[in-house]
Structure 1
Amino acid sequence: MTITAYCQERGSKPIFFILEDHLEVAENNCLYLQKIDPCATCVIINQPQQARERLEFEIPSIFVIDLQIGNITGEQSAQDSLELLLHIFENYPSLNILVYSSEHSYLRPLNKLINKHQGGFVVTSKVERRQHFVQGAKSALAGQLVLPPDLRQELSFSPIETQILQLLGQKYLTDKAIAQKLNISVRKVQNHIQQLKLKLGIDDLEQSDISGRVALSMEAVRHKLLLI
């Protein structure tokens, strides 16, 4: 069966957005993305404002974003791309994003928002081999958070916090069962859980259809603190 026939039989075709002002780079991005899914349609966008307008009509499976885009004066600037990311964080919290840039340090002011983003968010450098781009795209599509070391928030946990996180996220124990296991009071367990939520940026007031405990476990998995 040819790829065309396979895609026609499959029906649904994912859409990949690429924000890149160099056409050759954008086309190469598309070719490598189609190694992940040959049925995908690539939409190449060369200005952040166009990306905002396009997002109003359709949501891609992944959005590949270059930070430095040429403005009307011909100068390279990251400002418009950063404003686009802020717009996405506010309006499309589940969108999978791959930042593909030669200078990712521009993202530092957005660090807290990146860590709270619900969709995949991966940063890959243009100076690395293309296999890193492909792996980065796969990770973003899987909803993972993958950042360079200098962008990672340093999270420190006490030994008891680590134990509670494992018992809660891997063993699915209740507060009472955790307290009995660690020989401490239920109140202390609850206090430690609250501290864990604060460290991982989980706001109980924002939780609606998902419990705080599940949100805590999911966030711990995203940060590679739990393996499930």
Structure 2
Amino acid sequence: MSRAALLVFALAMPAVAQDRVTGFEQMSEDLQAMQNDPVANPGLFWLLDGETLWSEDPGTGAESCEGCHGDASDSMAAVAASYPAWDEESSRPVDLAGRINLCRTRHQDTGPFERESAELLSLSAYVTHQSKGMPITPDDDPRLARWRERGEALFSTRMGQLNLSCAQCHDTLAGGHLGSALIPEAHPTGYPQYRLEWETMGSLARRFDNCFFGVRAEPFGAGSEAYLSLELFLKSRAAGLLMESPAIRP
């Protein structure tokens, strides 16, 4: 059966109301154990690289991340749990990866890391790891409200050649299956995360790209207004769920 036919079949299934369930809770016990084991979790390699980057001299005479912020376990605790956040200078929201790059350009006099680069994923994972086990607490800056509303609208908008919305899969059909794949509720609790299908670490923006390709729509791209808006909405939708980066997913 084609992917399109499977989607049509899945959409004919009745919705089942349920409490919020994270991707971790939907995984097998073996994968849960792998994620919880700091040695077996493949994200460890990115964390170690991120820790090195945190204290690395940028080579421009400016301070390292550690030089400005000190011990990450203190200064970065709960920070990732509240991103995206408002950036005063650019008058727009930024995600955590965007904030890291702004720090590099504004305060370290060096260039930004490329999106999805090993360096940016590693440093993002290291900073996010300092919020592990803490609840997602969306930034309540009122200037983010219209962006969040745009994200909610995008989540419910049909798009692509398959004419599907995020909500149809991740609200209506969550917990069901598309072929052999379990449909998650799409709570962003563990990004950057290691996905077995990718065989590497990846960002939430990469996951967005995958979903857009899946419905045969043109992706907006990392750092775009659309992705920032969508992440803001998803974080508000997941408020109170615990951070778990680096997560593992199938």
Q: TM-score when scaled to structure 2?
A: 0.26
Whose Rg is larger? 1
Q: Which structure features the higher share of strand residues? A: 1
